[in-house]
Amino acid sequence: MTTVTTRRMQDLTVEDHTITVPLVWGDASDPRTIDVHAAVVIREGGENLPFLVFLQGGPGHEAPRPFHSPTGPSWLDAALEHYRVVLLDQRGTGLSTPVGDADLALGTDALVERITHLRADAIVRDCEAMREHLGATTWNSLGQSFGGFTTLAYLTTDAASLDTSYITGGLSAVGRHPDDVYALTYDKMRAESERYYRRFPEHRDAMRRLVDLAASGDIVLPDGEVVSVSRLRSVGSALGTNDGWQKLWALLELEPHTNAFRHDLAAAMPFDARNPLYFVFHESSYADGYATRWSADRVEPDDFRDDPTLFTGEHVRRDWVDTVPGFRPWRDVTLALADHEWPKLYDASAIAASGARGAAAVYVNDVYVPLEFSMETAALVPGITTWITSEHEHNGLRAGDVLSRLIDLAQGRRVR
Q: Which pairing describes strands 12-22 and 2-9: parallel, antiparallel, or unpaired?
A: antiparallel
Residues 117 and 6 in one domain: yes
Residues 10 and 113 in one domain: yes
Which of 7, 167, 108 has its CA nearest to residue 329? 108
Residues 47 and 125 in one domain: yes
Residues 10 and 94 in one domain: yes
Residues 105 and 228 in one domain: no
Looking at residues 158-163, what average pLDDT do you find? 98
Which pLDDT score, from 0 to 100, does residue 414 have? 64
Contact by Cβ (8 Å): 21, 33: yes
Q: What is the pLDDT of residues 394-403, one digit of tens each?
A: 999 998 899 9
- Looking at the DSSP bridge assignments, the partners of residue 54 are 87, 142
Residue 357 identity (one-letter amino acid): R
Which pLDDT score, from 0 to 100, does residue 412 have? 85
In a domain, 416, yes or no: no
Q: What is the pLDDT of residues 288-345, one digit of tens each?
A: 999 999 999 999 999 999 999 999 999 999 999 999 999 999 999 999 999 999 999 9
Residues 332 and 358 in one domain: no
Residues 22 and 151 in one domain: yes
Q: pLDDT averaged over the chain?
A: 96
Residue 316 phi, psi (nearest 5):
-80, 145
CA distance 95 to 386: 33
CA 47, 51, 56, 59 torsion: positive or negative? Answer: positive
Residues 162 and 279 in one domain: no
Could you write out the three-class secondary structure of 162-228? EEEEEEECCCCCCCCCHHHHHHHHHHHHHHHHHHHHHHCCHHHHHHHHHHHHHHCCCCECCCCCECC
In a domain, 415, yes or no: no
Residues 34 and 163 in one domain: yes
Give the alpha-carbon dihedral of 264, 325, 210, 306, to 10 degrees: -130
pLDDT above 80 for 71 = no
Q: What is the pLDDT of residues 163-205, one digit of tens each?
A: 999 999 999 999 999 999 999 999 999 999 999 999 999 999 9
pLDDT above 90 for 368 = yes
In a domain, 389, yes or no: yes
Per the structure, the count of domains in the chain is 2
Residues 189 and 248 in one domain: yes
Contact by Cβ (8 Å): 393, 364: no
Give yes or no for a cis peptide into 370 (omega within 30° of 0).
no
Maximal CA-CA distance, the chain: 62
User: What percentage of the chain carries pLDDT values higher than 70?
Assistant: 98
Residues 64 and 153 in one domain: yes
- The residue out of 303, 319, 338 marking a domain boundary is 338
Q: Which pairing describes strands 2-9 and 84-89: parallel, antiparallel, or unpaired?
A: unpaired
Which CATH number characterizes residue 402's domain?
Answer: 3.40.50.1820
Which pLDDT score, from 0 to 100, does residue 415 have? 55
CA distance 167 to 165: 6
In a domain, 196, yes or no: yes
In a domain, 406, yes or no: yes
What is the domain extent for residue 312? 178-338
Looking at residues 401-414, what average pLDDT do you find? 91
**Which DSSP state fits 102?**
G
Query: E strands, 216-328, where?
Result: none
339 exposure class (CB count in 10 Å sphere: 0-12, 13-18, 19+): exposed
- Rounded to a whole number of angstroms, the CA Rg of the chain reads 21
- The residue out of 338, 365, 394 marking a domain boundary is 338
pLDDT above 80 for 70 = no
pLDDT above 80 for 154 = yes
CA distance 330 to 317: 14
CA distance 290 to 284: 9
- The residue out of 338, 356, 377 marking a domain boundary is 338
Taking the alpha carbons at both ends of the chain, their separation in whole angstroms is 46
pLDDT above 70 for 66 = yes
Which pLDDT score, from 0 to 100, does residue 339 have? 98
Count, residues in the chain: 416
Residues 118 and 54 in one domain: yes
Looking at residues 268-294, what average pLDDT do you find? 96
In a domain, 209, yes or no: yes
CA distance 65 to 67: 6
pLDDT band per the 50, 70, 90 thresholds, residue 2 = confident
CA distance 51 to 396: 22
In a domain, 116, yes or no: yes
Which pLDDT score, from 0 to 100, does residue 4 have? 87
